Amino acid sequence: MLLRRLPLLNDPMIGVLLAMTTLAFVLPATGAGREIVRHLSNAGIFVLFLVNGMRIRRSEIMRGIANWRFFAPLMLFVFGGMALAGLGLATLAAGALPPLVALGFVYLGCLPSTIQSATSYTSLAQGNVALAVVGAALINIAGVFVSAPLFALLGGGEAGAIGTEAVIRIGLILVLPFMIGQVVQDRVIERVAAQRARIAWLDRAVIGLAVYVAFSGAVAQGLGSQFAPADWAVLVALVLALLALALGAAWGMSGLLGLPRADRITFLFAGSQKSVAIGAPLAAILFPASAAGFVIAPLLLYHLAQLVLAAPLAVRLARG
């Protein structure tokens, strides 16, 4: 019974990420095969964002915009405070880790928060679930437009290589399908809602494929040989430090804002958690396969850590 309560064993997404990462190390996609898998990944990302456009109600977006007293500080925290924290951790990591892995902390900081887990843990902690649903949706929509240019601004020389081609890919693979989904939403939203379980597996499959493509490229570039056990220890320590900072700052900022306890809980999870659902597909578009695996390494570890800590934290908050 105890094992079933562990987030690592309870969340199918974790199993998918671990399986695809392991597959990339054991049997990486190379040469022409990697190009085929990359095109399949891009097609899957297009479909995923089309479905996201169909299922995120326009009324939820408008409600979020109307509640600016809550969402403006939350947006500032997610895309401002966390991005600067990621930049600080990247500076610390620069002397100890490969440059692209250090850059991954900036990338991590620029990403939006999760939708599903932030909402689930807000509910478990007896926070404001309605606010969490609207907030997570709004932040993820903003992330499609904000994360890449913010990363380009803060990432320095490596990230500065993001140019017109990458912007066009983001527009065609992320923004365009989302906008199409919003346009056709009224005709399909009920059918999409009825397929929630299958869509959840679509999410996992697309994210898993993007992770596989990214880590295949990193393995081909010598990820295993470049990382000694001490390097992994440094990476894990920095990821845990960033997560602890995010949780403490989110809780403190929500207190300074004078939010009621239920809203503070929502702010805590929506502000501190980071989305691999946006991060992995976006990395597949922004970076060549040889670089993407290095850049998303901090994100995958952060995702694992946030789930491990979120469950006991939510239970503690529910007890008051």
pLDDT tens profile 191-232: 888 887 888 788 788 878 888 887 787 777 776 666 777 888
The long-range contacts involving 258-266, CB below 8 angstroms and separated by at least 24 positions, are 259/70, 262/126, 262/127, 262/128, 263/70, 263/127, 263/128, 263/131, 264/127, 265/122, 265/125, 265/126, 265/127, 265/128, 265/317, 266/122, 266/127, 266/128, 266/129, 266/131, 266/132, 266/135
Average pLDDT over residues 104-125: 86
In 3D space, the residue among 276, 305, 250 whose CA is nearest the CA of residue 81 turns out to be 250
What proportions of the chain, in percent to the nearest 5, are helix, strand and coil?
85, 0, 15
Q: Write the CA distances from 263 to 112, 135, 257, integer angstroms.
A: 19, 11, 10
Task: Name the CATH topology of 16-26+33-318.
Answer: Na+/H+ antiporter like fold (1.20.1530)
Report percent pLDDT > 70 for the chain: 90
70, 263 contact by CB (below 8 A)? yes
Helix axes 229-256, 82-93, angle to 10 degrees: 160
Pairwise CA distance, residues 272 & 290, whole Å: 29
Q: Which residue has the tokens 């403190």?
A: 252
In 3D space, the residue among 138, 105, 106 whose CA is nearest the CA of residue 119 turns out to be 138
pLDDT digits (tens, 9 = 90+) for 229-270: 788 899 999 999 999 999 999 999 999 999 999 999 999 999
pLDDT band per the 50, 70, 90 thresholds, residue 6 = very low
Res 194: pLDDT = 87
Stated as kind and residue range, the H or E segment containing 50 is helix 31-55
Domain boundaries, the chain: 16-26+33-318
Pairwise CA distance, residues 306 & 75, whole Å: 19
| Average pLDDT along the chain | 84
Average pLDDT over residues 77-90: 95
pLDDT band per the 50, 70, 90 thresholds, residue 164 = low
pLDDT band per the 50, 70, 90 thresholds, residue 4 = very low
Q: Model's pTM, two decimal places?
A: 0.81
pLDDT band per the 50, 70, 90 thresholds, residue 89 = very high
pLDDT digits (tens, 9 = 90+) for 18-66: 888 889 888 888 888 878 888 898 898 888 888 878 877 887 777 767 7
